[in-house]
Amino acid sequence: MILVTGGAGFIGSNFVLDWLAAGDEPVLNLDALTYAGNLRNLESLTGDPRHVFVRGDIGDRALLDSLLARHRPRAIVHFAAESHVDRSIHGPAEFMRTNVQGTFTLLEASRAHWATLPSGEREAFRFHHVSTDEVYGSLAPGAPAFTESHAYEPNSPYSASKAASDHLVRAWHHTYGLPVVTTNCSNNYGPYHFPEKLIPLMIVNALAGKPLPVYGDGQQIRDWLYVSDHCSGIRAVLAGGQLGETYNIGGWNEQANIDIVRSICTLLDELRPDPAGPYERLITHVADRPGHDRRYAIDARKIERELGWRPAETFQSGIRKTVQWYLDHADWVAEVQSGGYRDWVEQNYARRSPNAPR
């Protein structure tokens, strides 16, 4: 059995579904079910004995100790995190609690569990920490992409909290010998993505005829990774990654935000035409977020060289699958757009005048 933290969130739930589709090893899924955690993502696993779900917090040491003693997982894949930059700007405390203190508590529980294992199981045990390219900071146009040796320069409360968690994981390996691997991924997209992030927000707003808010000039560049490719990359690192090493997982797909939005509009014009006209008419430039990083780019040659992994999807194939999924799952979208979610969108975007200085 493996333990997955945050397995009801966007990437975590996709990983759980991917893992159980690829084999029969059971998953112990621990998730606090905050606003972005959704058991609907895992509805297809209802009644499946290979999936054991526990609602709980990674900061609850007593719960962690109990679960580890009872289920004795051979590996922990740690997704659980607060992950939205805008939310971290409005309220950083929760990001420090979950991403830093929560990771520390999980590491300590994992270390205690690992110490009790027989020698063979101790050698096979893995703690896989899932992180982000945002810890590396912002790249200038034309600068080489982030490699695993790039200096950490986090620029938001979110990325600072993830950088701290990365450093904790590294320290627990070097100080205590805990067998860890870390992956830093680029921007994920795909099914079950909570509609506060760029791609799902643009899709659901366009379908509702609402403005498509683009920060500043829209020229912020990101590397986009289809979520199923991220899942296969994690499986590759968990199976064959060198202990104590970091592996960057990227999609080799640098795109400006404004081009992402236009691509979504073009696909929706094809797949769900709006009688009112092309969806690009809804694009609205709003005031940029504070400290907005201009460019991220992942150099994923290390994972390809050492483990033979490359993404299977191009951006064109992945974004088409994503848009079609949201068109086919309007009921899921309606459920996640709770009153709390609508309040958040209002808080974050309503104060940004379309003609504010950028």
By CB atoms closer than 10 A (0-12, 13-18, 19+), residue 16 is buried
Catalytic residue among 134, 254, 299, 313: 134
159 φ, ψ (degrees, to nearest 5):
-65, -30
For the record, the structure tokens of 246 come out as 């970091």
Where are the strands (E) in the chain, listed by range? 2-5, 27-31, 51-55, 75-78, 126-132, 180-185, 187-189, 212-215, 221-226, 246-249, 254-256, 283-286
Q: Which is nearest to 195 in space by CA: 32, 333, 39?
A: 333
Note if 158 is an active site residue: yes
Supply 255's token pair: 């795109």
- Rounded Cα–Cα distance for residues 176 and 169 (Å): 10
Residues 169, 127: contact at Cβ < 8 Å? yes
Name the catalytic one among 31, 57, 133, 196: 133
> 317, 328, 345: which is closest to 271 by C-alpha?
328
What torsion, rounded to 10 degrees, do the Cα atoms 191, 195, 200, 205 define?
140
Say which of 31, 86, 136, 158 is annotated catalytic.
158
Instruction: Point out the residues that are catalytic.
Output: 133-134, 158
